[in-house]
Amino acid sequence: MSDISTRIEGRAGRITLQRPKALNALTYDMVLAIEAALDNWRDADIDLILLDAEGDRAFCSGGDIADMYASGQKGDFEYGRQFWRDEYRLNAKIFEYPKPVVSFLQGFTMGGGVGVGCHGSLRIVGDSSQIAMPECGIGLVPDVGGSLMLALAPGRTGEYLGMTATRMGAADAIFAGFADAYAPEDDWPALKAQMIETGIVPVLDTPAPSGTLEPLLPQIDRHFAGETLGDILRSLSTDDSEFARGALRALNRNAPLAMACAMTITRRLRSANSVRQALDQEFRYTYRAVAQGDFIEGIRAAIIDRDRTPKWAHDTPDAVTDMDVAHMLMPLGDAALNWKEMP
């Protein structure tokens, strides 16, 4: 069976991820197949795009990054850079697509899955949904355009979600702007059938079961408004609440350089008006990450050796300097993303 199915059914262009045993992790070939389908259907006689995935554990758990690790270990940095170039171009195409894009986000939707599933017109979540940007845990910044959603999230929620990799259920994802509507997952087959038959995007008004993020907003805003990563850590360390202790554990676990850069990107994008601005900022980091950041070590600790004890380049978050952040986020000149090939 192919890792992905693209076909036209009725009034819908259908894209289904088909790697349930791998939590539908996104391969390079899948990225190219999704882009090709979207390009082919731009002028086709269909009304909408329907994005879903097989299995009940995940819509898409992220990018399949084993090949990036292998190539990086050999000193080949171009494979990862080309993957990200093509993936980011796909993310922008989904965001800007002229037809409605409807996604059904069951289970895990993380990292690269957010880039595929969370840029469309109607992003539907259910009771199993768990959405997150966990990149700082492997030495990356929240990318695939996710930094724009973090920047536009209420208050300082973006800094909190991006640096701690906190998972969002249905209500929290809607509150933070990563999803639009809730529907019980038993209703999803009928919703898909209706869209395929009619080409009409449904209006969903069933409220999601209550979440935990919105009630925490006062604490998030108080602690995550600091000028630097160190300021945030010091603020949290003065608070003995369960929230502060959990946030501190996450910040002390994730890559300090990635968190500092994620915070800077999030704040730069508060006035952004295009996903391309977010992808440009993200690519500055990911372009350099394999050669100069913590990415290879993060993958080793999380996926290859699975010892969960990464040795980050900076021992503590306070060790990251403004110069370190500036170096990772400098403009790329001729290596920057090229949008000329975009419609």
Share of the chain above pLDDT 90, in %: 87
Dist CA 72 CA 57 (whole Å): 30
pLDDT the model gives residue 1: 63
Buried b (16+ CB within 10 A) or exposed e, 299-318: bbbbeeeeeeebebbbeebe
Write out pLDDT tens, residues 113-142: 999 999 999 999 999 999 999 999 999 999
* Mean per-residue pLDDT, 257-272: 96
Q: Which of 211, 210, 236 is nearest to 222 (CA)?
A: 236
pLDDT the model gives residue 177: 98
CB 16 within 8 A of CB 59: no
pLDDT at 283 over 80: yes
**Rounded to the nearest 5°, which phi and psi values hold at 297?**
-65, -35
Give the residues across from 5 on adjacent strands: 16
CB 72 within 8 A of CB 296: yes
Rg value, the chain, Cα: 19
pLDDT the model gives residue 29: 95
pLDDT the model gives residue 65: 79
pLDDT at 343 over 70: no
Query: Model-level pTM?
Result: 0.96
pLDDT at 222 over 80: yes
User: How many domains are contained in the chain?
Assistant: 1
pLDDT the model gives residue 68: 79
pLDDT the model gives residue 285: 97
pLDDT the model gives residue 66: 77
Dist CA 192 CA 108 (whole Å): 20
Which token pair is 333?
Answer: 């000149």
Residue 293 or 25, more confident: 25
Summary mean pLDDT of the chain: 95
pLDDT the model gives residue 246: 97
CA 233 to each of CA 164, 165, 194, 284, 320: distance values in angstroms, whole numbers, following the listed order: 12, 16, 49, 26, 13
Helices 275-292 and 78-95 pack at an angle, to 10 degrees, of 170
Dist CA 311 CA 278 (whole Å): 28
pLDDT the model gives residue 133: 97
Where does the pLDDT of residue 185 fall: very low under 50, low under 70, confident under 90, or very high at 90 and above? very high
328: containing domain? 4-341
* Mean per-residue pLDDT, 313-319: 89
* Chain length of the chain: 343
The CATH number for 305's domain is: 3.90.226.10
Dist CA 105 CA 267 (whole Å): 27
List, in order, residues 6 or more apart from 100 with CB less than 8 Å away.
47, 48, 49, 120, 121, 122, 201
Residue 317 or 37, more confident: 37
CB 165 within 8 A of CB 254: yes
**Rounded to the nearest 5°, which phi and psi values hold at 200?**
-105, 130
* Mean per-residue pLDDT, 296-314: 91
Q: What is the 3-state secondary structure (H, E, C) of the chain?
A: CCCEEEEEECCEEEEEECCHHHCCCECHHHHHHHHHHHHHHCCCCCCEEEEEECCCCEEECCECCHHHHHHHHCCCCHHHHHHHHHHHHHHHHHHCCCCCEEEEECEEEECHHHHHHCCCCEEEECCCCEEECCHHHHCCCCCCCHHHHHHHCCCCHHHHHHHHCCCECHHHHHHHCCCCEECCHHHHHHHHHHHHHHCCCCCCCCCCCCCCCHHHHHHHHHHCCCCCHHHHHHHHHCCCCHHHHHHHHHHHHCCHHHHHHHHHHHHHHHHCCCHHHHHHHHHHHHHHHHHHCCHHHHHHHHHHCCCCCCCCCCCCHHHCCHHHHHHHCCCCHHHCCCHHHCC
Write out pLDDT tens, residues 20-63: 999 999 999 999 999 999 999 999 999 999 999 999 999 999 98
* Mean per-residue pLDDT, 239-245: 96
